[in-house]
Amino acid sequence: KPKTTKVVLDAGNGRCKFAIGEYFDYFTSQWAIVRKLPRDIAGAFSIDNKHYIVGDDIDCVADAIDQGSIASKGKVEALPLMLIAALTYHPDILYNAPATKKRSKDRKLLLDVEVLSLADGDELEESLKSISAFQKDGINYEINVICFRHRVEGYGAAIRANQIIQELPQPPKKFHILDIGNGTSTITTYTASSTSPKAGLQRPGKGGGVASMLEHFSDKASIGDGKGATYDRLRRALERSKVNENGEYETRASMSQHNIGASIKPALQDWLANQPAVVNTFSRIDELLADGGYVFCCCGGFAIETVTNFITNLEQFKPYVKSGHLQILPNPSTIALLGLIED
């Protein structure tokens, strides 16, 4: 008999992160529709006679009929593709799927799916359950989502922050999560609890994420127009940037010959001062900290060493970092999802 498989998805505009059991991985949140699928390739599958390749490998596709991404199509439409792609990226879950009673070659998967997203939960569930099967490498896989749960983005981070809060001599009633992802900078207030934290409405600052940092970085470095291959190289340069022993920002990426490390701090200063969503987000953070609140930071923006250094060394934040009222959560790029698994 098929066993129920737990799948947790954090499908962001830039990357889709997933955990199946103890296995964790991620892939780029983009896809291509092609005329014919290669065999034995992760992220390659068919639905309703349409052949998809999901993830980084679409850069190798020369004959795509159509392309899409979460950023362009939205999470509701993209969620079934992200779920199936996650199953194909797992090393052995499809191999071990039991046969159905109807046909020995067919396989069946019973899924318990948990999704972290700002999108409407009912719409996500309806979209997910609209897909009953997919095909990969000549095998038909039936899907039955027997349980679906919708969590706010960053809920795993909130679980970890709640644990920290409960260890304080006088735990506050509320705390706040600052999530800087690829496209947004989101603030969520949680009610602290000895069991599970309860989320308030999220306040997403669209256009306040890492993608907007890169726009300012491109401008300050005077390289490229924020698109295409140059944009990807700038992203890698920012993600790999470090703070040296003299407190200077530098990068060892392939564009280091342009000495663009010196452009990182001016770019972040411009991002903080002139990006509307960022201005609103950090004004809110200032207010929460001034009122004695606790703010915990997570997601991809805080996985970048220079970004974390820049934010925590802002003069208005230094006292709160010292007092513990402003903290970067451990493993910030994955804690939003894996904090939920570890609970």
Is 161 within 8 Å of 175 (Cβ atoms)? yes
What share of the chain in percent tops pLDDT 90? 64
Examine the pLDDT at 182 and tell me if it is beyond 90: no
Helix (H, G, I), strand (E, B) or coil at 334: coil
Examine the pLDDT at 228 and tell me if it is beyond 90: no
Full-model pTM = 0.83
Examine the pLDDT at 162 and tell me if it is beyond 80: yes
What's the whole-number mean pLDDT along residues 202-223? 87
What's the whole-number mean pLDDT along residues 219-235? 70
- Give the model's pLDDT for residue 224: 58
User: What's the pLDDT band for 256 if we cut at 50, 70, 90?
Assistant: very low
How distant, in Å, are the alpha carbons of 177, 218, 266, 269, 276 from that of 273? 21, 16, 11, 6, 8
How far apart, in whole angstroms, are the C-alpha atoms of residue 249 and residue 213? 15
What are 144's strand-pairing partners?
A: 110
Examine the pLDDT at 255 and tell me if it is beyond 60: no
CA-based nearest residue to 302, from 340, 332, 339:
332
For the purposes of burial, counting CB atoms within 10 Å of the CB of 67, is it exposed (0-12), middle (13-18) or buried (19 or more)? middle
Q: What is the CA radius of gyration of the chain?
A: 21
What pLDDT, in 10s, does the model give residues 11-49?
888 889 999 988 999 999 999 999 999 888 999 999 999
CA-based nearest residue to 293, from 187, 198, 203, 194:
187
User: What's the pLDDT band for 103 if we cut at 50, 70, 90?
Assistant: low
Examine the pLDDT at 342 and tell me if it is beyond 90: no
Number of Cβ within a 10 Å radius of residue 123: 16
In the DSSP assignment, the letter for residue 3 is: P
What pLDDT, in 10s, does the model give residues 257-282?
556 888 999 999 999 999 999 999 99
- Give the model's pLDDT for residue 105: 80
Tokens of 9: 């998805």
What share of the chain in percent tops pLDDT 70? 94
DSSP 202-269: -EEEET-SHHHHHHHHHHHHT-S-S-HHHHHHHHHHHHT-EE-TTS-EE--STTGGG-GGGGHHHHHH
What pLDDT, in 10s, does the model give residues 62-93?
888 999 999 899 999 999 999 999 999 999 99
Helix (H, G, I), strand (E, B) or coil at 38: coil
What pLDDT, in 10s, does the model give residues 235-252?
888 999 999 999 999 887
